[in-house]
Chains A and B, each alone.
Chain A
Amino acid sequence: MTTRFEPVVTRAGADGSRALTEVDPITTEIVRHGLNSAANQMKQALIRTAFSPIIYEVLDFAVAIYDDDVRLLAQAPSLPIFMGTMSFCVEAAVAAVGGRERLEPGDIILYNDPYGSGSHPQDAALIMPVFLDENLVGYTAIKAHWLDIGAKDPYATDTVDVFQEGVIFPGVKLYSRGQRVDDVYRTVLANSRMPAAVEGDIRAEITGVRTGGEALLRLIRRYGLVDFKQAVEHMFDHAEATVRRYFEEIPDGQYRGFGMMDDNGVEPDPVPFEVVLEVKGSTVQIDYSNAPGQQRGPINCPLPSTVSASRVAISMLAGAGEAPNEGHMRPVEIKTRPGTLFHPLPPAPCFLCGWPTIQAIEVIYHAISQALPHAVTACSGGDICGLTLYGVRKDTGEPWTDGSPHPVGQGGHIYGDGGTMMHVSESATRFPATEVWESKNPIIMEKVELAQDSCGAGEHRGGLGIDFFFHALDDFFITAAVERTKTAPWGLLGGAEGRPNAAAVRYPNGERTFIGKATRLPVPKGATLEYYTGGGGGYGEPAEREEAAIRKDLREGYLSESYVRQHFPQLKLEEGS
């Protein structure tokens, strides 16, 4: 980069509160519940009709409802990391078709440009304007992961520009006045290796946005547009107040967190970065402007994705456990510098943009831990340890693909030991049942087991990582996207580090090759793919851990004797016991 851009600051709901009338706390509460229920109805409609497990099991989607100014009204629990990206996507889609005056009832826009959607092109969004008697009153939107939309490989970690990452639909009407635009529809299907699955999932998304539209209209009709809008303003103000109160407790100041990407996917060097949190009164600014320049490989994180990571991290802490809306995001400013890792410019590759967002969340917690260590957990395994498998069926010659993220150990925290589950960026996601996975793929799972000693020690230890062994019954390819293999999960307040993630292929001849990011790697029949997901960091001094807890860890085999001798010398073990 020769040009150095000035940093830009992104805020939500820019013009702040617009509440006009006296507060009616009752209607506000009813409307708030009604909107969340409407979003849940969208989610159910999508899950029940989706074709691909990546949608109905992995929940790799977001559903959201916006008002006519594209402010978030409600979002159903799904993939948190998509949470903050959807408003960008709606705005970009509407702009692309000529602005709101060009929208008509029955329109549905297809949008998957990574630089507006904050995701790779497979995460394709459908956006439906919602009209009440010809007046635009809001939008329903779903972004869901399609199995394939024509990237260089079904999943890729080594792209060098965005054009290798899939076919881009930069905001085109898939439905116009309720009629399907067949030219666009056929173009979509013609560009997928898995057209039947994509067709099924498009239909599910359509059912979802329409279900949400009906639910939104029902709510507006019930209370009238004027009262509805006022209730919404109060709902935003209420959420904003909740988050502001949280930040008022944090002393004003600058808090720095540090993170590192293992590599950028095409070059071997680690990519370190820094995030600065500046708390001022009830406002927090998350500053990414010191990030390294945009990368040659696909770990670049487009602005919407960076904003999303920030919003997820903050919502988990300050949102009082509630479903987020626009108001929660008002106190959060995000500062980025165009041309950098966290604000790349097209056509930089960004297929793996989800991975830096995961690291960014941990780094934000790292920064907050300096002010309020009890408010966060120690570092988790810090990744979703993604795996995609693909090949060609020998009997039919048809291409197949499947994939999943994997759980990691969570960091210890003030309330107790860390558990073992998905990274918070995908907190509602499930990984597939072995019995289902084996019925569809040429695999025998040898092991899905907690890994002894993989956690960081502490007064409250981290959660254990898991060993997953996939034994190949036939030849296939994989794309592995495993991060944080070079940096161990940090402990907090004296807690120790957990084990970092690792992945390897053990070939039939016994040789073992470790991998991190790998694309189209052949796994021959008889080989075993080994995923060792990371353990959580510990919280508090290990010397403070209660003896009963250590004894339990030993009895249950979570920890070995040698680990206990090393980290918890306070427990006197009999020699040779």
Chain B
Amino acid sequence: MARPNRVVIAKAGLDGHDRGARIVARALRDAGFEVIYTGLFQTPEMIVKVALEEDADAIGLSILSGAHMHLFRRLLELLRAEGLGHVVVFGGGIIPDVDREALVAEGVGEIFTPGASLDVITSWLRARLEPTDATAAQR
């Protein structure tokens, strides 16, 4: 039987406001995901290390400090370098529309802004991680 999908929820940078990250972590757990919350002050390097060790299927990054462009790009770059390009990256925070569109074009799965419902986030992630018929056959 397939194991539950594993998600790393991370806070990057020096911003310490993690109410949103913790609520999303809890909601994903309730929805049947295995969730690893990294805690505060993570660098992209630290987050990728956790994803590697935990064999994560997805990484959710919460950023409210405004440093999102640098942090998401660095995270994607490191994941590719480690051969983890398949890991779904999503995000949450106060992210300007223009930045969100740019990041999605560069490979971030989705970015959820304040007001996004927990159900929307969990169903989006479930859909993204659901094995297609082709991949399911190989498991």
Chains A and B come from one and the same complex: no
Residues of B within 8 A of A (CB): none
